[in-house]
Structure 1
Amino acid sequence: MDAFLRTFLQQFQHLQIQLEEIASATNNFNDEINRIGVGGFGKVYKGEVSHSKGRSMVAIKRLDPTHGQGIPEFLKEITMLSNYRHENLISLLGFCCEGSEMILVYELAFHGSLDRHISSRHLTWTRRLKMCLDAAKGLSYLHDPNGTHQRLIHCDIKSANILLDDQWNAKLSDFGLSIMGPANEQQSVIVTSAAGTPGYCDPQYAMTHTLTKESDVYSFGVVLIEVLCGKLCYTYNSGRVEKKFVPAWIESYKQRKLNDIIFKNPTIQPLDQTALKLFADIAYRCLKESREDRPNMGEVVIELEGALEILELLESQEFNEWKAQLFYYEEISKTAEPPLIYRSEVGFMKLLYEGVLLNGGKTWFSINQKGEHCEMISFAECLDSSAPSKFGRWSSAYDSRFVVGSYYIDSYNESEWSSKTRVKTQFLSPGITYTVNLVFKFIFPSEVRCHDLLSLKYKLQGEANTSISFIACERDDGWWMCELCQLTSDHRIVDLEILFEGLGYILAEGIEFRPSDKVEHKDDERQPIIDSDANWEEKLPSDYEDIMKWSTISVQWTTKKEAYSIICKGLLINDGQTWLSLDQNGKKSHMLSTRAVRISSMYDDEESGYILSLPESRFGEVVHWASWTLNIYTEIQSQLLSSETTYASYLVYKIQKHQSIFEAPLEVKIDLFSDNRWYVYLASPQTPVIRPKVDQNTHNPVNRPRIKGIPQRRNDGWMEVQIWEFQTAVTTEMIPMHIKLRASGGKDLSGLIIEGFEFRPI
């Protein structure tokens, strides 16, 4: 090995595998027993070796210079796969460079390469499309749409370089011809000698020797159409490409004759026409002659995800149940505005999943993945004619799904703005628990914070008392919602009357009936180690011996595994004032007692809280708080945190008095003078429940998703609510924390029992 090669490989020492072990694993490179393939690099063997991630069966590529590749490709493969890691790229596990031998060791692709399965009758359309999507995600990562690393142009995308693991997940391989280009550039043009594989090579690349990421896109388009047609893009004879099929396939697409060439097998369900069109359209766009007309790989991923979603719907139980009600859906769709246009039953179903306007554009109707109906009634349809027009007007400038737009309310005077609404639904699924939400936007969005305080006052028909919805949650569609009540539908029509007693500076779009998610909240505390945890040693902290020495009481252990088990379960350290444990990923978590944290009222009044002895606390004592503010000061020790981890901080507590005292939210600020604030609850928000079940409280919804600011009950009997979040760096340092909690309306927090403050990875 020359000096340059030795120096270059020094940085990858952790990946080196001895030639003696590789020779033994391959029975001295036995072609009959161990060879599994051959490529441009040389022959590929299988064998079991110890490597950087343990010991397993691997694929072993042995360089053969007579095949056209050599030292540059060998070094490039090591460099690329060490710097570029993704679930859809094959993993480099090691290499060997001894004497004249240059060998690369990869994870074993159990099912070999995609080209071997193109015409297989065992691959369903869903499986075929999933493999294409996997490969697209790997290539999108290499092309780096987000600019986090240097762009990599693969230069040899073909079905033979897409490998399939034991679960048929696809992974890109063979980076010996790859070329790096600058990140964050719209176009990376590189002049190079033409390379790649005939049939897959970008014609523009072959003619001009200029390379761009769109050259990879073209090659990937060839793979897509191969999978669609069930055959390779060329025939091979006497070591040469005899015939190329891509031009004929493109012509078939243009003439809308893809059904003549699409892969057909009686054992495989025919490809749905909607999915076929999406699949064929994206393949054709990739094969455009002009590079500017080709999509980027991010767009390819999105298109393939859409096609895959359709195919999965076809195979789902929900689709069969949906088909049984097809006549009903076709009937209600006759009121759609605008009229629905679709080519197949699946296309129709996809429209309903995305949402359609019914009843002349007054009702937004959709179906969720469980087949449950969702419905939103336009605020224009709900609003009583007596609504004070001087404080409101209709606006269509805020992307409302309704033609009339949203109702612009610009009054904060509760005595002046009040209005009765009547909401009449038609399409709710019977027997489903629905959350009824007001859907709106803030007029001044720059002042809005997640879960912002709203204080919306309203009264349901038949309710004697006014209800208050304090917080709003932002939705994926850019609108906000606040919960008004929950109800269980006993038929498809619900007639609901709501009196709003105060709305201000919002754009009300409509009142929505959304099926409640049945969320099972499980405690996030660490579970004891189990024998099947094969990666326990990787999760064991490097300073585990120091942790064991910190223990307040003497702990007995003799092996690393015993130490890991003890730390997972948790132990008291720092004179019993800190509880330290590990989560399921081996990240450190800890809870500080109230003695380990400085807490005070606004005026540092020592009488605001007093210590109580409480055996059920892991610290043996708690603080009973009585002020309307709670200031928390501490410095989080670096040795109690894991590096490069996002942590959430939780207040762990119990409520001694009736929880109605704590129904209003608490304002949380990062320090005394910051404008950055958010809100949390100590008692779960109470909203009315209409037609409750026999054992259900009339103001205590049971199906509420887990979100920040809403308290949760822990397995140890205590309550917790997240009050802060922070990120640790590569080198963990001491992190200061100063959090201020303040009760609204000047109410004190008498009856709040605080056990401590927990810091847990999220």
Structure 2
Amino acid sequence: MAAPRLLAICCSFLCHCFRSRKKDTDDAVLVKESNSTDSAPSLEMNSASGKIPASPLRVPPSPLRVPPSPGRFSMSPKLDRIGSVHLTMRQIARATQNFSPSLKLGEGGFGTVYKAQLQDGQMVAIKRASKEHSDTLRSEFRSEIELLAKIDHRNLVKLLGYVDKGNEHLIITEYVPSGTLREHLDGVYGSCLDFGQRLEISIDVAHGLTYLHSYAEKQIIHRDVKSSNILLTERLRAKVADFGFARLGDTESGKTHVLTKVKGTVGYLDPEYMRTYQLTPKSDVYSFGVLLVEILTGRRPVDSRRSPDEKVTIRWAFWKHNNGETEDLVDPQMKETMDVKTCNKMLDLAFQCAAPTRVDRPDMKSVAERLWAIRAKYLKRAGKE
């Protein structure tokens, strides 16, 4: 009788020791994603169509290895423990001056992004969901914070916290001070990005997407890669932002997700994804190919103000490139003398990424490797190494 009684006492003691304590979570935390209004807004659709001329080039295997990923993944924290910034709605209202229009950084499908200064002086960004769409945006809100909680990389915007209370849904991220890539291509800040800066930004974005596809705890497909979702630091290093449309990928290689709705931005959308509703990481690769052409030309992917032959930038660029007119493609804002060989290599890569079918596209890891090799040769020619 003594042994069973002793065992019962021990079990009771252990249960008491390991019982989890409830934590009061009155309100929550903050996040930043600067999202300027795009000429081609993010959208979702039930059907779409689009064709891009196929690149005649196939993807050769790269013998180079991409440099070590700048950030390592961390195991997913529980959502009630996310971040380092914990605020009440009253504190958020004070930090944003009651959501003052003067502090607005951008606006997107999810809502509005505000710049905010905390009591300790830290700058953050707060994305506030539109109240009139509160119920319909709840799933996107939860998806974004759950996916942001899984990532930790210097080329991806970092989640600091969130608020999910009543009809208030806010995401709090790090503040990235130098605006969006699209704003820089538009000359909003006065100075023009030179070729070297554009190449470094391309590599940063490729690293961020490589991490999402290959090194995060679970594969993540961004689904809305575009220039207005690329934020730049003071040193013009790039961070991929806005994970509202992101989805977890399939851990088994070659598997696809069949979705009922297509989401993304006009001009960047993978035509095969639009046609088949099958989502894979290669859809991000397609968007990156379009982005690479945008970075080199400075043109938006779709520009209705231009002549019919030039409205769809990637078609126009493909035609020019095929006819040996690469110099006509380069953003005229760049005053420097361009290395045509380097531009041709970047365009070859861009058109392979934007191939109409996913089987002809490289994966993001290979893209990053090839961009790194292009950078090495460019620096060598320029005598910068």
Give the TM-score category using the shorter length: 0.7 to 0.9
Q: CA deviation at 1:293?
A: 0.8
Aligned residue number for residue 200 of structure 2: 130
Cα contact 1:118–1:232 (8 A) shared by 2: no
2:148 is the alignment partner of 1:78: no
Amino acid at match of 2:168: E
SS of 1:196 mapped into structure 2: strand
Amino acid at match of 2:347: A
Amino acid at match of 2:98: N
Q: CA deviation at 1:14?
A: 6.0
Q: CA deviation at 1:98?
A: 3.1
Q: Which runs of 5+ in 2 are unaligned?
A: 1-25, 28-77
2:322 corresponds, among 248, 254, 257, to 254
Where do 1:137-536 residues align within 5 Å? Answer: 137-144=207-214, 149-183=217-251, 185-192=252-259, 193-235=261-303, 243-265=311-333, 268-316=335-383
2:154 corresponds, among 82, 87, 93, to 87
Amino acid at match of 1:197: T
Q: CA deviation at 1:281?
A: 1.1
Aligned residue number for residue 26 of structure 1: 96
Q: CA deviation at 1:258?
A: 2.3
Cα contact 2:250–2:257 (8 A) shared by 1: no
In 2, Cα distance between equivalents of 1:252 and 1:61? 40
2:179 is the alignment partner of 1:112: yes
Cα contact 1:264–1:270 (8 A) shared by 2: no
Q: CA deviation at 1:73?
A: 1.3
Output the TM-score relative to the length of structure 2. 0.73
In 2, Cα distance between equivalents of 1:36 and 1:11? 27
Amino acid at match of 1:28: N
2:125 is the alignment partner of 1:59: yes
Cα contact 1:217–1:286 (8 A) shared by 2: yes
Cα contact 1:188–1:213 (8 A) shared by 2: no
In 2, Cα distance between equivalents of 1:82 and 1:150? 11
Cα contact 2:125–2:172 (8 A) shared by 1: yes
Identity of aligned residues (%): 34
Amino acid at match of 1:180: L
SS of 1:83 mapped into structure 2: coil
Q: Give the 3 Å change call, closer, same or farther, for CA 66–286 of structure 1 in structure 2.
A: farther
In 1, Cα distance between equivalents of 2:132 and 2:367? 37
Q: CA deviation at 1:99?
A: 3.0
Aligned residue number for residue 730 of structure 1: none
Q: What is the RMSD computed on CA atoms of the aligned residues?
A: 2.4
Aligned residue number for residue 102 of structure 1: 169
Cα contact 2:180–2:232 (8 A) shared by 1: yes
In 2, Cα distance between equivalents of 1:247 and 1:65? 39
Output the TM-score relative to the length of structure 1. 0.38
Where do 1:700-711 residues align within 5 Å? Answer: none
In 2, Cα distance between equivalents of 1:63 and 1:24? 18
Q: CA deviation at 1:142?
A: 0.5
Q: Give the 3 Å change call, closer, same or farther, for CA 34–221 of structure 1 in structure 2.
A: same
1:53-75 CA-to-partner distances (Å, cap 9, x unmatched) read x7511111111155696111111
Amino acid at match of 1:46: K
Which one has a larger percent strand, Structure 1 or Structure 2? 1
Which one has a larger percent helix, Structure 1 or Structure 2? 2
Aligned residue number for residue 688 of structure 1: none
Aligned residue number for residue 69 of structure 2: none
Cα contact 2:84–2:160 (8 A) shared by 1: no
Higher relative CO (Cα under 8 Å, sequence separation at least 6) belongs to 2
Amino acid at match of 1:307: I
Q: CA deviation at 1:188?
A: 3.0
1:227-283 CA-to-partner distances (Å, cap 9, x unmatched) read 11111111268xxxx943222222222222222222123x63122122112111110
